[in-house]
Amino acid sequence: MNFEELTQLAERERAAQHAMPFQIHVCAGTGCHAAGSEMVAKALEGEVARSTLKGKVLVKCVGCRGLCASGPIVEVEQQQPNAEPASVLYAHVRPEDAPEVVRSIGGEPVERLFLDTNQPFFTRQLKIVLEDCGKIDPERIEDYIARGGYRALFKVLDEMTPSEVIDEITHSGLRGRGGAGFPTGLKWATVAKANPQRYPTYVPPGVQSQKFVICNGDEGDPGAFMDRSVMEGDPHRVLEGMIIAGYAVGANQGYIYVRAEYPLAVKRLRTAIRQAQRVGLLGNNIAGTAFSFNIDIRLGAGAFVCGEETALIASIEGGRGLPRPRPPYPAEYGLWGCPTLINNVETLANIAPIINRGAAWFASIGTAKSKGTKVFALTGQVKNTGLIEVPMGITLREIVFDIGGGIPNGRKFKAVQTGGPSGGCIPEQYLDTPVDYESLTALGSIMGSGGLIVMDDSTDMVEVARFFMEFCMEESCGKCIPCRAGTAQIHHILTKFQTGRATMRDLRLLEELCDVVKHASLCGLGQSAPNPVLSTLRYFRHEYEAKLRSDGYAYGHANGAAEEALSHVQ
């Protein structure tokens, strides 16, 4: 396929879509799917087939629309000459509502199901990564191309050298969305420069020794579904980012590492890869150039630590998912000893827009050091739970109270936890902090991959810390001692607080131990595991102190501690 053919295909698809004056988009994202959107789509299709509008309405299943708490979400679009289509959004649609929805097409919207898109939940968001998610049919490459997909790839292949691509990404200021916020351009440049001969390689038979690109779609944080929504709702965008990355760093093979718990994402990615291969956008001599690139999928078995880059690489190699000390970083010594670029799904989903609209445009969004947008999974005690994309630099208050709609049931806000299980809890007085990598770190939390959990005033912060520590303890790979034994001891001490057996001595030991685990652990799991404890100790220390034994009696080793330890170590 060349650029001309791409343009023609886009035109054809657009014309075909315009021939249908109406489109019904049924959200098939995680939340809506669980709420029964599949049945709704079937009912709508049946209803359209029976109605007089047959042949004029296209019913399609699309990716996540964000407002998961109100699912299933249905959007009815009406084509307008020379303008964006007019659309109406419906919430909580059940299969029984199908006749009413179809009858209303072209007339007045169904009042009962109507969802106002003029509320801050929609107006305060800025969508780049998710711009097509919920608009296109993720199972059709034509739909992606019709909306401008793969144009960036052609621009890169036809007009830019690999180093120009890297410069463009560097100038955009994009930073890795997988958690650490490492500058993406710098990482690409390191891989591009890396000497494949520096370290001995051990590629298996059938694999060519070269550079590799890995897309990290492991997303092991509980409650996070940002990457999942992108992979399920707009898989071609991820592929396009990977192909461009491959061109920039000089790799011919890419792997997408997805957890097996995401069967729909796996299926959609497989379909997308097949479609891209069919039209010649993946495979040998892409678009008639000398550049070849292939993508394969690797499934993870759902261990949190396998999201850590070196553990992920070990897992792709077929070993146990254990991290190894860095340096050497994967950029120099990665998959099978070869230089490897590893980027998060969301990072890669930002690539095509940056190439299309330019680094300056991207750099104009966000704060001085954090550019662009960030996708968050907003959950907990907040009215609008779901998936949001906001510009960097927006305040936590705007996220929780404007977009999130505030705290339900008349309760008061207490804290918001950012960054998943190993993020910190941020209290009310810091709600006006702009969301960027540095500000969150300064508050003792992290950006992480983008979980946001809102807690109301009924929350016991010690219990929150204990809960997350339990997760980290269970997900610790067991390789290094500070993380394996340290998280278990932290959890044990927090359990003593919760059962009224903690003394001042435990509180001091807890603080010392958090310091050890944070600074002596091998990988990011252990290094960030104490964050929930440290941040709650920093902002809610009185809650810990209130739980200390009033008689100051130091609780010995033998009494009962043994049975309790047994119950969770066995």
DSSP-derived letter for residue 531 is H
CA distances, 10 to each of 62, 130, 138, 144, 293 (Å) = 19, 20, 15, 9, 23
CB of 124 to ligand FMN, least distance (A): 25
Does 347 interact with ligand FMN (rule: CB under 6 A)? yes
Q: In the complex, what is the shortest distance from the CB of residue 183 to another protein, in angstroms, rounded to a whole number?
A: 17
Q: Return phi, psi of residue 188, to 5°.
A: -60, -45
Distance CA 54, CA 51 (A): 6
Site residues (vs another protein, CB under 8 A): 303, 305, 320, 324-325, 327, 473-482, 484-489, 492, 509, 512-513, 516, 519-522, 557, 561-562, 565-566, 569-570
Residue closer to ligand FMN (CB basis): 60 or 518: 518
**Least CB distance to another protein at residue 314 (A):** 12
Residue with tokens 């960097």: 392
User: Any contact of residue 414 with ligand FMN (CB under 6 A)?
Assistant: no
Number of shown-chain residues binding ligand FMN (CB under 6 A):
24
Residues 91/73, Cβ–Cβ less than 8 Å: yes
Helix (H, G, I), strand (E, B) or coil at 81: coil
What single-letter amino acid sits at 303?
A: A
The partner in contact with residue 383, picked from another protein, ligand FMN, none with C-beta cut-offs of 5 to 8 angstroms by kind, is: none
How far CA 196 is from CA of 242, 316, 329, 480, in Å, comes to 20, 19, 13, 29
The one of ligand FMN, another protein, none whose footprint includes residue 516, by CB under 5 to 8 A per kind, is: another protein
Assess whether the previous peptide bond of 162 is cis (omega < 30° from 0): no
Give dist(CA 430, CA 415) in Å, integer. Answer: 9
Phi, psi of 299 (to 5 degrees): -100, 135
Nearer to ligand FMN (CB atom), residue 13 or residue 218:
218
HEC string for 445-486: CCCCCCEEEEEECCCCHHHHHHHHHHHHHHHCCCCCHHHHHH
Q: Sign of the CA dihedral 140, 146, 148, 154?
A: positive
Q: Residue 347 CB, nearest distance to ligand FMN (Å)?
A: 3
492 binds, among another protein, ligand FMN, none (CB under 5 to 8 A by kind): another protein
Min dist. Cβ of residue 231 to ligand FMN (A): 11
- State the Cα–Cα distance between residues 374 and 357, nearest whole angstrom: 18
**Which entry of ligand FMN, another protein, none binds 169, CB below 5 to 8 A by partner kind?**
none
Selection from 416, 489, 419 nearest residue 447 by Cα: 419
Answer with the entry of another protein, ligand FMN, none that 479 interacts with (C-beta below 5 to 8 A by kind): another protein
- Cβ distance to another protein smaller for residue 153 or 488: 488
Instruction: State which residue, 219 or 436, has the beta carbon closest to ligand FMN.
Output: 219
Q: How far is the CB of 28 from ligand FMN (least distance, A)?
A: 23
Q: With contact defined as beta carbons under 8 Å apart, do 533 and 494 qualify?
A: yes
Beta bridge partners of 43: none
Of the candidate residues 125, 315, 344, 370, the single one contacting ligand FMN (CB under 6 A)? 344
By CB under 6 A, tell whether 525 contacts ligand FMN: yes
The entry of another protein, ligand FMN, none near residue 481 (CB within 5 to 8 angstroms by kind) is: another protein
Residue 182: contacted member of another protein, ligand FMN, none (CB under 5 to 8 Å, by partner type): ligand FMN
Q: Phi/psi at 215 (nearest 5 deg)?
A: -100, 120
Q: Which does 278 bind (CB under 5 to 8 A by kind): another protein, ligand FMN, none?
A: none
- The binding site for ligand FMN (CB under 6 A) comprises 176-180, 182, 187, 216, 218-220, 304-305, 307-309, 342-344, 347, 449, 523-525
